[in-house]
Structure 1
Amino acid sequence: MARKPAPFAPFEWMIAWRYLRAKRAEGGVSVMTWISLVGITLAVFALIATLAVRSGFRTEFVDTILGSNAHVTVYSGGERDAATGRVDRSIPDYAEMAERVREVPGVTRVAPLVKGQVMGTANGRNSGIEVFGISPDDLATIPRIADPETAQGDIASFGGETIAVGSGIARELDLTVGDDIRLISPDGVKTAFGTSPRVKAYEIGYIFTAGRYDIDRTRVYMPFEEAQLYFNRDGAADELEVMVEEPEEVERLISEILAAAGANAYAWTWQDASGGFLRALEIEDNVMFIILSILVLIAAMNIVSGLIMLVKNKGRDIGILRTMGLTEGAVLRVFFICGAFTGILGTVAGTVLGCVFAIYIDPIFSFVNYIMGGGVWDPAVRGIYALPAELQLGDVLSAMALSLGLSFVVTIFPARRAARMNPVEALRYE
């Protein structure tokens, strides 16, 4: 008794390979194969490139937030002044509160801050500025400020009446290291005739680029004691800037931080501040994945068209092979190999192109920007200075799995049609 050949035997691969190399005179199958191959390649390339840019944008956005802003901001609920009706939210015991919060497990850094909004003026230009009063030692521990993408001057010069400004402010006011900037605060000196604006000039000792347009364009760091004098915060701070080991899990520490800070303390996390944007990114990610998955499906449908033409043109061959003893399963596997091979080759090519695009996105984007005459990426709108991309193994594998899965599934239907073809009907008119 003859032994039944195993599935996907060598002769099945040989027949499938001959069909894939069919000439145009034999029905134009090779042309349809190339169209299917190019479609799958471009679809997978687009999917991987989009996922890489999505991951890079979120990583860069979160990194700029966590690298230059507090993970948790602790502030006081305040006490209302019975005479004036104003609520004083300053923290007079900031040193003791900071020490207690610093002892919470998972907290890596606590810095008292004095904050205020002023007008900066220099060289006949004006700009709105947000001042952060902070000690030199605490400033040196902010990652994106102490170790920025680019910097001018020396951070060690920060102190006294020497301040640090963002590169956007320096560019807007045409300033460089060593220049003076005048800061004007409406809440200045209290006199018998009311409150007069406070105007004072400071020397610029350090210019940083944190990587976020809104930070570089508005932020100025001032020595803590000088900020207390300038904003009339004698012996007090406005809030505590808290950094933690695991910013993504910051919500777990909120109760402990508030317990250490005191009964009248409140907390505001970086997720609270940027939660809306992060949720919008997540929704956009899901929508883009669905849309591009449909694009991959459309490209995979070209395989169906090619296989249907192949089955139609090879009807006589199928009839002969069936009369020679080829089983329905063998015929199905032959045509499945034809479609799956196209899907595999297109997926591999698209994956390579997508990975190369993500790796070399900077020169590619620079070339596109040059061709378009510049201005393709507006940091004032996007918040960051360049289009980032980050390859993640999970994204690449998900794109490959989606493409291969769809390619294999759509191949089954025309392959089954070929397998169920009646050999007598196939040879009747031959």
Structure 2
Amino acid sequence: MARTPPPFAAFEWKIAWRYLRARRAEGGVSVMTWISLIGITLAVFALIATLAVRSGFRSEFVGTILGANAHVTVYSAGELDAQGQVDRTIVEYDAMAERIAQVPGVQRAAPLVKGQVLITDRDRSSGVEVFGIRPDDLYSLPGIAESDQAYGDLSRFEEGIAIGSGVARAIGATVGDRVKLTSPNGVKTAFGTSPRVNAYEVVYVFSAGRYDIDRTRVYMPFPEAQSFFNREGVADEIEVMVDRPEDLNPILIPILEAAGERSQIWTWQDASGGFLRALEVEDNVMFIILSILVLIAAMNIVSGLIMLVKNKGRDIGILRTIGLSEGSILRVFFICGAFTGIIGTAMGVILGCLFALYIDPIFSFVNYVMGGGVWDPAIRGIYALPAELHLSDVLKAVGLSLGLSFFVTYFPARRAARLNPVEALRYE
């Protein structure tokens, strides 16, 4: 009794490999195979490159926010003062900060004084936001104290101020210069409030990695900021840093309870949540669009297989006559289409991973060819195009490409398997 060969037997692979290596006379099939291969390669490459850039952009955005901003900000709901104005300052700020710092999961809590001023160096001025902060608290901000592009001496912070690199460029200042800070809420006199102007030495220039921070932020010693902004004995808010900034919900209520009555909180997710949600929507839309491109590329496999089945009708009839089953014929042509999808996917993964790993020299080359100015940090917020390669993104691209390739390959292969050998050989 004849033994039925197992699925995907060696002879099925040999026949499929023979069909893939079409003769010159059957160049149409070969051309369609190459078109399918190149299309899938480029589609998978584009999908992986886009996912890597989107992951890198989100990681860079979140990292720069968390490296230079409070994870949670605690401030007072305010009370009416004698003039009928709402006073939101915090009087017992040290006690409040100590209570918050004892909450499990909180790294530190620091009082801040904030105000907007005009900074001037010689004849150049710019509007900035001043953060009054204690030196130890400033040292704990990695985006400021650990910046690899910073210069100056942060240990001299109590003797002057620290400014962002964007502020330094805007006014032409550098370490050692004395700059003037002008506040409209200055000294109160019988004739009204006169602007307060003080000069400070720039002791440190930092780069937090975000254009909007570097362009607008100035750090000043906490006691000096209290005096400069008429905040003697009070603070404007409490800056809180936590262990898990991306999972804030479990810790918000304990922080609010520790802060006391009439306290309110504002998180980094509240401040940037709209942008993060926009990134998430854009990620989903880009994945759908690029998935359609992969589908279009995979459809070329159908065209190539249909042409192959038509050209090999006589061969199919002979193979069926000598005993090959419908399943064997189906698997032969399925291998032809799937092989194209597998090779195209593999090449696309290699190109996509190389792009993500070497994005900096690639982007520098593009910037050089275009004459510079391709990436504007004033618009993008960060200084370079980031890319972060995740295994999950690569697996999603591979699964999508192979799944579509196998799916569209089945139908022309099934048509070949159902071809009647009598009809195939009738006119031969």
Moved more, 247-256 or 290-299: 247-256
The equivalent of 2:153 in structure 1 is 154
Give the SS at the match of 2:248. Answer: helix
- How far apart are residue 28 of structure 1 and its match? 2.0
Secondary structure of the residue aligned to 1:36 is helix
User: Is 1:47 the counterpart of 2:47 in the alignment?
Assistant: yes
Paired letter, 1:401: G
**What do the CA deviations read for 1:126-169 (whole angstroms, capped 9, x no partner)?**
10110000001110000100101301101111003x11000000
Q: Which residue of 2 aligns with 1:126?
A: 125
Query: Would you say the 8 A contact 1:47–1:292 is kept in 2?
Result: yes
1:395 aligned residue: 393
Distance in structure 2 (CA, Å) of the matches to 1:200 and 1:228: 13
Mapped partners of 2:221, 2:426: distance in 1: 95
What amino acid is the match of 2:97?
A: A
TM-score in terms of structure 1 length:
0.99
SS in 2 for 1:205: strand
Question: Of the candidates 237, 250, 258, which is equivalent to residue 239 of structure 1?
Answer: 237
> In the alignment, what sits opposite 1:84?
83
What residue number does 2:212 align with? 214
After the TM superposition, which segments of 4 or more aligned residues of structure 1 sit over 2 Å from their partners? none
**Alignment of structure 1 residues 23-422 onto 2, 5 Å:** 23-81=23-81, 83-160=82-159, 162-422=160-420
- Residue 22 of structure 2 aligns with which residue? 22
- RMSD value over aligned CA atoms? 0.6
Amino acid at match of 2:344: G
* Cα distance between partner residues in 2 of 1:143 and 1:348: 39
Distance in 2 of aligned mates of 1:26 and 1:209:
62
Moved more, 108-117 or 26-35: 26-35
Contact 1:24 1:31 in 2 (8 A): no
**1:24 to partner: Cα distance:** 3.1
**Structure 1 CA distance for aligned equivalents of residues 27 and 72 of structure 2:** 68
Q: What is the CA distance between 1:397 and its match in structure 2?
A: 0.3
Secondary structure of the corresponding residue to residue 293 of structure 2: helix
Distance 2:52 2:162 in 1: 35
Deviation track 1:217-266 (CA, whole Å, cap 9, x = no partner) reads 00000000000000000011100000111111112211100000001100
Question: Normalising by structure 2, what TM-score?
Answer: 0.99
Contiguous gaps of at least 5 residues in structure 2: none
CA distance in 2, matches of 1:67, 1:336: 52
Answer whether contact 1:115 1:238 (CA < 8 A) is retained: yes
Q: What is the alpha-carbon distance in structure 2 between the residues aligned to residue 315 and residue 404 of structure 1?
A: 27
- 1:27 is displaced (CA, Å) by 5.0
Tell me the distance in 1 between the aligned counterparts of 2:108 and 2:306. Answer: 66
Q: Aligned partners of 1:277 and 1:26: how far apart in 2?
A: 54
One-letter code of the match for 1:260? A
1:63-117 deviations in Å (ceiling 9; x for gaps): 0000100000000011101x31111111010000000000000000111100000
CA distance, structure 2, for counterparts of residue 16 and residue 154 of structure 1: 70
Amino acid in the other structure paired with 1:328 = E
The answer to whether the 8 A contact 1:23-1:29 is kept is no
| Structure 1 stretch displaced more, 42-51 or 244-253 | 244-253
Cα distance between partner residues in 2 of 1:303 and 1:26: 16
CA distance in 2, matches of 1:266, 1:212: 27
SS state of the match for residue 100, structure 2?
helix
Q: Which whole-Å CA distance do the structure 1 matches of 2:365 and 2:406 have between them?
A: 37
**Cα contact 1:44–1:400 (8 A) shared by 2:** yes
Structure 1 letter corresponding to 2:11: F
SS in 2 for 1:222: strand
Match in the other structure for 1:10: 10
Amino acid at match of 1:132: F
Which piece of structure 1 moves more, 24-33 or 63-72?
24-33
Q: Distance in 2 between matches of 1:181 and 1:340?
A: 68
> What amino acid is aligned across from residue 56 of structure 2 in structure 1?
G
Q: Secondary structure at the match of 2:4?
A: coil
What are the ranges of 5 or more consecutive residues in structure 1 without an aligned counterpart?
A: none
Quote the Cα distance in structure 2 between the aligned partners of 1:157 and 1:24. 77
Cα deviations by residue, 1:167-210 (Å, 9 ceiling, x for unpaired): 00001111110001100000000001110000011000000000
The offset of 1:358, in angstroms, is 0.3
